[in-house]
Chain A
């Protein structure tokens, strides 16, 4: 992937497919490190499946035999000296508190660090693709935070769907302005 924001777009699809109601994307960044965390309350994975997800030849998909999402994220992190950790609680093990958290750390000053890229478009694309999910996007950079919380938006919007173009434009502008103010 050319941008880490594309890895985020890809990884978050797993949370959508896991039937999550809430997906939290957290970027925690300082001068030297970037930690990307995607946390969902989807169906989770059993210990057995969790052991296999880093293997590209494991996938739950039926249209092809190769699952490159997590291996690509792992590659991007490890080539900077960082790592990927995944914790998951399966719905079958705990019907109430289940879900998956995937976390990737990067050393930004490493030659092989992939730039974050257009994260605003990634957030807009995710909301467009799964407008019924509650998304919380948070990017902490030092003392500053960029935040978008669809729950807060829904309190105002009522039943107006988030994938309407005017709402998507508002989200794009909102995030762009927050980033510009950093």
Chain B
């Protein structure tokens, strides 16, 4: 394994951050990672959300988690966004590029990207 000393350094730096994390999770981005999601390309979508949210410094407010099959396999990769006090938003047929846009417009800008949601695709 890579230098474990580096891990120790990360741990030192993280001491304060661990406390902050307790209050985190105002917004949850949930990516479907069952067979259907993975086969349709969920892995790069998930990773783009994780990277982009970290790049934008939003990690304390937004958590990215994985879930199994939610039963709409034909729309995979599916991403659900849960925000306290708001209705759940379901994005379908996602790609890494669309993930960037959702972070920019929805998670940063507060505006749902309507054309990628299930109601737009299913209409």
Where the two chains meet, the residues of A that have a C-beta atom closer than 8 Å to any C-beta of B are 1, 6, 9-10, 13, 17, 61, 63-64, 67-69, 72, 118, 121-122, 124-125, 128-129, 147-149, 152-153, 156-161, 164-168, 170, 173-174, 177-178
Interface residue range, chain B: 20 to 34
Decide: A160 and B35 in contact? CB cutoff 8 A: no
Decide: A122 and B43 in contact? CB cutoff 8 A: yes
| Cα distance, A165 to B57, chains bound together (Å) | 11
> Given A72-B39, A158-B11, A168-B50, 7 other A-B contacts at CB below 8 A?
A6-B43, A10-B35, A61-B34, A64-B69, A68-B36, A160-B14, A170-B7
Decide: A129 and B66 in contact? CB cutoff 8 A: yes
A165 touching B59 in the complex, CB below 8 Å, given contacts A9-B38, A160-B10? yes
Decide: A166 and B33 in contact? CB cutoff 8 A: no
Decide: A165 and B1 in contact? CB cutoff 8 A: no
A128 touching B50 in the complex, CB below 8 Å, given contacts A153-B7, A160-B11, A170-B7? yes
Q: Which residues of A contact B39 (CB under 8 A)?
A: 1, 6, 10, 68, 72
A-B contact count, CB below 8 Å? 96
| Cα distance, A170 to B8, chains bound together (Å) | 11
Binary contact track B1-31/A, C-beta < 8 Å → 1, others 0: 1101011101101100110010000000000
| Cα distance, A143 to B46, chains bound together (Å) | 34
Binary contact track B49-78/A, C-beta < 8 Å → 1, others 0: 010001000010000111011110100000
Contact of A128 among B8, B21, B66 (CB under 8 A): B66
Counting chain A CB atoms within 10 Å of each CB, which of B21, B35, B43 scores highest?
A: B35
Q: Which residues of B contact A177 (CB under 8 A)?
A: 2
Select from chain B the residue with minimum beta-carbon distance to A61.
B69
Query: How far in angstroms is the closest Cβ of chain B from A155?
Result: 9
Contact of A159 among B6, B18, B33, B70 (CB under 8 A): B18
